[in-house]
Chains A and B, each alone.
Chain A
Amino acid sequence: MIPTLLGVAILVFFMLRVMPGDDVVEMMLRGEGADVPQHIIEAERIRLGLDQPVIMQFFSWMGGLLQGDLGTSMWTGRPVAYELGIRLELSLQVALMATVLAILIALPLGTLSAIFRNTWIDHIIRIVSIAGLAVPSFWLGMLIILFLLTVFRWIPPLTFTPFLEDPLKNLSQLIWPALAVGYRYSAVATRMTRSSILEVMQEDYIRTARAKGVYERLVVARHGMRNALLPVITVIGLEFAFLIGGLVVTEQVFSLNGIGRLFVQAVARGDYTMIQGLVLLVAVAFILVNFLIDLLYAAVDPRIRYS
Chain B
Amino acid sequence: MTLTADLQTAGAETSSGRTTTPLLSIRNLHVHFVTSRGVVRAVEGISYDVRPGEVVAVVGESGCGKSVSALSVMRLLTKPTGRVVGGEIMFEDRDLLKLSEDEMREVRGEEIAMIFQEPMTSLNPVLPIGFQITETLFMHRTITKDKARARALELLKLVGIPDPERRLDQYPHQFSGGMRQRVMIAIALACDPKLIIADEPTTALDVTIQAQILQLMKDLSRRLNIAMVIITHNLGVVARYADRVNVMYAAKMAEQGTAEAIFARPRHPYTIGLLRSVPRLDKPRTSKLETIEGLPPNLLSPPQGCRFAERCRAKQDACIVEMPPLEAVEEGHLTACLRAREMAEKGFAAVGLARPEVKTIERKRIDRSKPLLELKNLKTHFHVSRGLGFLKGGRATVKAVDDVSFEVFRGETLGLVGESGCGKTTVGRTILRLEKATSGGILFDGQDMLGASAREMKKLRRRVQVIFQDPFSSLNPRMTIGQIIDEPMLVYGLQPNRKAARARTGELLLSVGLFDYMADRYPHELSGGQRQRVGIARALALEPEFIVCDEPVSALDVSIQAQIINILEDLQEEFGLTYLFIAHDLAVVRHISDRVAVMYLGRVMELAERDPLYDDPQHPYTKALLEAVPVPDPILEGQRSHQVLGGEVPSPLNPPKGCVFHTRCPLASEECKREVPQFREIKPNHYAACIKL
**A interface residue numbers (CB < 8 A to B):** 1, 203-205, 207-216, 222-223, 226-227, 290-291, 294, 297-298, 300-304, 306-307
Contacts and interface: CB of A to CB of B under 8 A. Distances in A.
Interface string B429-466: 00000000000000000000000000000000000000
Contacts of B124: 205, 208-209, 223, 227
Interface of B: 74, 76, 101, 105-110, 113-114, 116, 118, 121-128, 135-136, 139-140, 171, 173-174, 184, 187, 386-391
B184 A300 contact: no
Contact of A203 (B121, B127, B136): B121
Given A211-B74, A211-B108, A213-B108, A298 B388 contact: yes
A210 B108 contact: yes
A223 B123 CA distance: 10
A116 to B, nearest CB: 12
Given A207-B116, A212-B139, A214-B139, A303 B122 contact: no
A298 B390 CA distance: 13
Contacts of B389: 290-291, 294
Contacts of A290: 389
A202 to B, nearest CB: 8
Among B114, B122, B124, chain A packs the most CB atoms within 10 A around the CB of B124
A90 B528 CA distance: 58
A306 B171 contact: yes
Contacts of B121: 203-205
Nearest to B191: A213
A227 B124 CA distance: 8
B116 A208 contact: yes
B184 A214 contact: no
Contact of A213 (B105, B116, B127, B390): B105
A223 B184 CA distance: 16
Contacts of B387: 307
Given A1-B390, A208-B124, A302-B171, A215 B105 contact: yes
A212 B187 contact: yes
Contact of B171 (A1, A203, A215, A303): A303
Nearest to A207: B76
Contacts of A208: 114, 116, 122-124, 184, 187
A242 B497 CA distance: 48
17 contacts: A205-B122, A208-B123, A208-B184, A209-B135, A210-B74, A212-B139, A213-B107, A213-B108, A213-B139, A214-B109, A227-B125, A294-B389, A301-B125, A304-B388, A306-B171, A306-B174, A307-B173
A205 B123 contact: yes
Given A205-B121, A212-B108, A213-B140, A302 B173 contact: yes
A298 B391 CA distance: 12
B122 A204 contact: yes
Contacts of B187: 208, 212
Contacts of B174: 306
A33 B108 CA distance: 82
B109 to A, nearest CB: 4
Contacts of A294: 388-389, 391
B105 A204 contact: no
Contacts of B74: 210-211
Contacts of A303: 125, 171, 173
B106 A211 contact: no
Contacts of A223: 124, 127
Among B101, B118, B173, B391, chain A packs the most CB atoms within 10 A around the CB of B173
A212 B134 CA distance: 10
B14 to A, nearest CB: 27
8 A-B pairs with least C-beta separation: A213-B109, A213-B108, A302-B171, A294-B389, A212-B109, A204-B121, A211-B114, A205-B124
Given A1-B390, A207-B116, A212 B122 contact: no
Contacts of A1: 390
A46 B109 CA distance: 82
A16 B105 CA distance: 66
A211 B106 CA distance: 10
B388 A226 contact: no
A284 to B, nearest CB: 14
B117 to A, nearest CB: 8
Contacts of A301: 125-126
Contacts of B125: 205, 227, 301-303
A205 B118 CA distance: 10
Given A208-B116, A213-B108, 9 more contacts: A203-B121, A205-B123, A212-B108, A214-B135, A214-B139, A294-B389, A302-B125, A302-B171, A303-B125
A286 to B, nearest CB: 13
B187 to A, nearest CB: 6
Nearest to B131: A222
Nearest to B197: A211
Contacts of A216: 101, 105
A204 B109 contact: no
A136 B67 CA distance: 49
Contacts of A212: 108-109, 113, 135-136, 139, 187
Contacts of A304: 388
Contacts of A298: 388
Nearest to B187: A212
Contacts of A291: 389-390
Nearest to A301: B126
A270 to B, nearest CB: 35
A213 B136 contact: yes
A182 B105 CA distance: 40
Among A209, A210, A222, A227, chain B packs the most CB atoms within 10 A around the CB of A209
A147 to B, nearest CB: 41
B651 to A, nearest CB: 12
B175 to A, nearest CB: 12
A223 B76 CA distance: 16
Contacts of B127: 222-223, 226
A54 to B, nearest CB: 32
Contact of A226 (B76, B101, B126, B136): B126
Contacts of A214: 105, 109, 135, 139
Among B105, B121, B389, B391, chain A packs the most CB atoms within 10 A around the CB of B389
Contacts of B135: 209, 212, 214
A307 B116 contact: no
Among A210, A212, A304, chain B packs the most CB atoms within 10 A around the CB of A212
Contacts of B388: 294, 297-298, 304, 307
Nearest to B111: A213
A227 B123 CA distance: 12
Nearest to A227: B126
A112 to B, nearest CB: 17
A208 B109 CA distance: 10
A46 to B, nearest CB: 43
A213 B76 contact: no
Nearest to A224: B124
Nearest to B106: A213
A245 B389 CA distance: 25
B116 A204 contact: yes
A300 B127 CA distance: 10
Contacts of B108: 210-213
Given A215-B105, A302-B173, A303-B171, A207 B122 contact: yes
Contacts of A203: 121
A204 B121 CA distance: 6
Contacts of B105: 213-216
B76 A211 contact: yes
B600 to A, nearest CB: 25
B108 to A, nearest CB: 4
B264 to A, nearest CB: 35
B304 to A, nearest CB: 34
A227 B127 CA distance: 10
A1 B125 CA distance: 30
Nearest to A307: B386
Contacts of B386: 307
Contacts of B136: 212-213
Given A207-B76, A213-B107, A306-B171, A300 B122 contact: no
